[in-house]
Structure 1
């Protein structure tokens, strides 16, 4: 069973992302315990549930324990174990500090009695900085605006998923130096987030979407190959099947393991995927930690287009680091995110002779 309590009927007045991130408080057991109301999404080919969902639900749980006059300004997260989509997640909120200007919470997500994720969050009282303030912010780069045509929309989690995006060409894509490249996209939650819900669901939605293609930036700037004709000794989908899926439902195809822009472009051009078998191929890629600094946390809407830009200043020793900035459509910086993850290449098979 993927939820502890049978999910209630879907409230059609709420957005898809609100429905996905809804929590049930286990008040009769402990007022600081929560669990997922709806099943969590497990990306095809991934080791566990989508990390953004755990991040966002931890934030949602913590927000319920602070006064409405306090707003999250930072959260520091660690992915400990892969989450299982077949069983419920239990979230325990610990009240670490109650200050006049700042409050601190830790949230631990658990399954089978073990921590799968942990985060520390800091909340600040609104307008606690005083009338005179030190202020500056990075400017949003000049990029093409989001398009209104439906054919330009992408649904990273399928047509019924909670958010949609539009990619922009990678900046400096032809550079031989991966650290100079920047991956860019427009992103927003599908539908309209309930006006009566306040600012909290917009923050949770931003946290959810911040994990989309995050550590994958390392693979994109290195142009790493993510498709293999065999995986763990078993053949994957036949190329003819992949081409048929491309014609029927490209978004569904993109959810399959190893499907990236280069692979899909080769399919569109009718080229064989085995042509790149001699190129570096990812053997393992998984997030280790995730940090979000929220700026202007009550002055944006996650159901309106937001611009994100990611870059990787470093990769080595089987890990990669990625920075992300998120802006409103009119150029206001609303979040800065950092993620480190395992990025290991598939190693050549050593001869036993």
Structure 2
């Protein structure tokens, strides 16, 4: 599944999805979907489906082993938002490395509550796709230990920038960003992390695309804890690349994700947000209290 975020969406307007049947083969089928508002494309995706069992009886197998990381106890104030899923952060690995690309972020996610049987496999795959964006975009700044919010003034400027760039209500953006700032402050106190450059902040960071490779589609439940590890092999020229791998409870690698972001660095404020794939309300991230941007 390859997603591209073309324009910001407006939650007050209807979204029309145009589906094109590109190919129906014996083993694979391809579809493209374009989401439009007022006749303008705001989101496009290309999806590839394979027929179960079409690969035959003989095949080559290998997989990366899940890191041996236990599920942490939930710290107070972190990962307890009212969103559709729960999160428990493990932390940043290789923090002492002088190279940001050597560091990675680790966390556990699961859908809140229990997913009913009526939704079938599709419900778990949809929930996994949504969860794959949790903390993902912020990997670039977090491996550098850069603080996202420094003062109420920074939040004011961030909210104003969101209103200008995306059309989000300023008061709604302030509430969302203030919540993120408070949760970030708790996280920094718990981890005792220091910034690589205390004078540097991210002014804006936005997802350009989001790709998900589903591996073993029947090896997990999205309402059970899923372990994720995120790293960024490269950042520069106003962009950054982040990679993520996700494992089920039994250690099965179930998905690999890739995202490219665009960013602006200065000393004023930090905005980190992304538009979720598979969600008709494209401003949903700004209406939740999830500890991510």
Q: Counterpart in 2 of 1:196? A: 118
Q: Residue by residue, what CA displacement relative to the aligned partner does 1:161-201 show, whole Å, maximum 9, x if unpaired?
A: 11001000211123221100010000000111111221011
Deviation at 1:280, TM superposition (A): 0.3
The structure-2 alpha-carbon separation of the partners of 1:234 and 1:138, relative to structure 1 and needing over 3 Å to count, comes to closer
> Aligned residue for 1:264?
186
Q: What is the aligned counterpart of 1:174 among 87, 93, 96?
A: 96
Q: Which runs of 5+ in 2 are unaligned?
A: 160-173, 269-293
Runs of 4+ off more than 6 Å: none
Cα shift at 1:320: 0.6
The partner residue of 1:226 within 145, 148, 173 is: 148
Contact residue 207 and residue 292 of structure 1 kept, 8 A: yes
Query: C-alpha deviations, 1:267-289, integer Å up to 9, x for none?
Result: 89xxxxxx999520111100001
| Residue 92 of structure 1, CA deviation | 1.6
Correspondent of 1:295 among 191, 215, 219: 215
Please tell me whether the aligned partners of residues 144 and 196 of structure 2 are also in contact (alpha carbons under 8 angstroms).
no
1:132: which partner in 2? Answer: 58
1:327 CA displacement? 0.3
**Once the 2 structures are TM-superposed, how far is the Cα of residue 256 of structure 1 from its aligned partner?**
3.1
- Which region of structure 1 is more displaced relative to structure 2, 286-295 or 172-181? 172-181
Paired residues of 2:155 and 2:178 also in contact (CA < 8 A) = no
In structure 1, C-alpha distance between the alignment counterparts of 2:4 and 2:255, rounded to whole Å: 18
TM-score (norm 1): 0.64
Which residue matches 1:345?
Answer: 265
TM-score (norm 2): 0.77
Q: After superposition, give the CA deviation of every residue in 1:274-316 in whole Å (9 maximum; x if it has no partner).
A: x999520111100001111000112211111100000000000
Structure number with greater CO (CA < 8 Å, separation at least 6) is 2
How far residue 94 of structure 1 moved from its aligned partner, in angstroms, is 1.0
In the alignment, the residues of structure 2 paired with residue 259 and residue 267 of structure 1 have an alpha-carbon distance, to the nearest angstrom, of: 12
- SS state at 1:199 partner: helix
1:309 alignment counterpart? 229
Would you say how many aligned residue pairs link Structure 1 and Structure 2? 250
Listed as ranges, the gaps of 5+ residues in structure 1 are 1-74, 237-251, 269-274, 349-353
Confirm whether residue 82 of structure 1 aligns to residue 23 of structure 2: no
Show the counterpart of 1:123.
49
Structure with max Cα Rg: 1
CA distance in 1, matches of 2:110, 2:212: 17
- Match of residue 95, structure 1, among 11, 18, 21: 21
Compared with structure 1, are the counterparts of its residues 294 and 140 closer, same or farther at alpha carbon in structure 2 (3 Å cutoff)? same
In 1, Cα distance between the equivalents of 2:70 and 2:114? 24
Cα separation, partners in 2 of 1:121 and 1:210, compared to 1, 3 Å: same
Asked if the contact 1:308/1:325 (under 8 Å) is kept, the reply is: yes
How far off is 1:206 after superposition? 0.5
**Is the Cα–Cα contact under 8 Å of residues 201 and 266 in structure 2 kept in the other structure?**
yes
Deviation at 1:210, TM superposition (A): 0.5
Equivalent pair of 2:65/2:253 in contact (CA under 8 Å): yes
Alpha-carbon distance, 1:83 to partner: 1.7
